[in-house]
Structure 1
Amino acid sequence: MAAEDSACAVAHGAEGSPVETPTLVAVFASPVAEFLLRYGADLGYRTVLYDPDSSRAAPGATAVLPDLDADTDVVVTDHHRPELGAALRDVLARPVRWAGVMGNPRHEGPHVEALRSLGVPEAEIARVHRPIGLDIGSRRPAEIAIATLAGLIADRNGRPGGFFTR
């Protein structure tokens, strides 16, 4: 009988290999952010909701960007907020592993001009991913969160995402 691979063993209840606890930061309170943080916690992320506008923030949100390190993934969940540029500039000033902005991939993201207007160098702007997540036709906040988290997992594991091919 062939030896069981590690992914199969984990699926059957064996302990997975120990890993560091990554951090997931959702920027701006939104329905998608709620699902990102809920599902992200289930996936082993330390989750943080950052919303610089305390009048719009949800309970438990922080109006001060926490310490972020090279094991932090940041997802901006609302590209219409006036604080987009400043919030993203502050994120990019930290050594985060990954930063992305949700939005329609057919249009240049408003974060580009917002960051340029704040004097953020092009090399830093280029660190921002857009579009984000796997293309699964997401329409609802929970689906968007799942697609985004699946994309982050694939990226962390050096995989392109998507279905296996035969």
Structure 2
Amino acid sequence: MTDHVHDASCAVAHGDAPAPRDEPKTLVAIFASPMSGQLLRYALDLGYRTVLVEPDPTKVDPHAPETVSTLDAAGLDANTDVVVCDHHRGELGALLRDALAGQTRWIGLMGNPRHEGPHIKPLRDLGVADEEIARVHRPIGLNIGSRTPAEIAVATLAGLIADRNARPGGFEF
């Protein structure tokens, strides 16, 4: 037996110990897009149950493991992370309102943090309180300079892992 077995994480990484069993977790990606496809694929490897919410049947990703048209059908609970993968859709306000009203652990929206969030006006127009709107994380993911859908998905999932483990992300230990 080698010395790395004394460090639990190292022992798991080397295959000398089983990975800890996490509580069940779900990742809900709202809106089919190249990024949501990457996000859902990578999340499976991280132990998430994955669900794509796509209200437009013409935009459904045939590769998504589970696709539903409403958040109600996604099965939100306290272990669910919700990521909105397109902020240019007309359904944005209603779906975010429903996510905020449901039981979720985390809700985030892609977008440039230098501009007002595209979700703010639609949510206010729907009567959602500012305190609830503030629960929507934006930007999502770690700041690693992501440019491609795959990189954005990796940064997003890394940020969710850091948040679940109460860590800052990045190279701060």
TM range (shorter): over 0.9
Scaled by the length of structure 1, what TM-score is found?
0.95
Once the two structures are superposed, the pairs formed by residues 126-165 of structure 1 within 5 Å of their partners are: 126-164=134-172
Kept in 2: contact 1:100–1:129 (CA 8 A): yes
Contact in 2 for aligned 1:52/1:87 (Cα 8 Å): no
Gaps of 5+ in 1: none
Percent identity between the aligned chains? 65
Q: How does 1:78-89 map to 2 (within 5 A)?
A: 78-89=86-97
Number of residue pairs matched by the alignment: 165
CA deviation string 1:43-70 (max 9, x = no partner): 0000000011222222352112222001
**Equivalent residue of 2:168, what SS?**
coil
What does the per-residue CA deviation read over 1:103-160, in whole Å, with 9 as the maximum and x for residues that have no partner? 1110011101110000111111111000110000000000000000000000000001
Partner secondary structure for residue 48 of structure 1? strand
Q: Distance in 2 between matches of 1:137 and 1:97?
A: 26
Q: Residue 16 in 1 paired to residue 19 in 2? A: yes
Partner of 2:67: 61
| Partners of 1:33 and 1:132 in 2: CA distance | 13
Decide whether aligned partners of structure 1 residues 9 and 126 sit closer, same or farther in structure 2, where only a CA change above 3 A counts.
same
Q: State TM-score, norm by structure 2.
A: 0.91
Q: Secondary structure at the match of 1:46?
A: strand
Let me know the Cα RMSD of the aligned residues.
1.4
Question: Is 1:85–1:115's contact at 8 Å kept on the other side of the alignment?
Answer: yes
2:161 partner amino acid: I
Q: 1:102 aligns with which of 110, 132, 140?
A: 110
In structure 1, distance between residues paired with 2:5 and 2:76:
40
Question: Which letter does structure 2 place at the counterpart of 1:44?
Answer: G
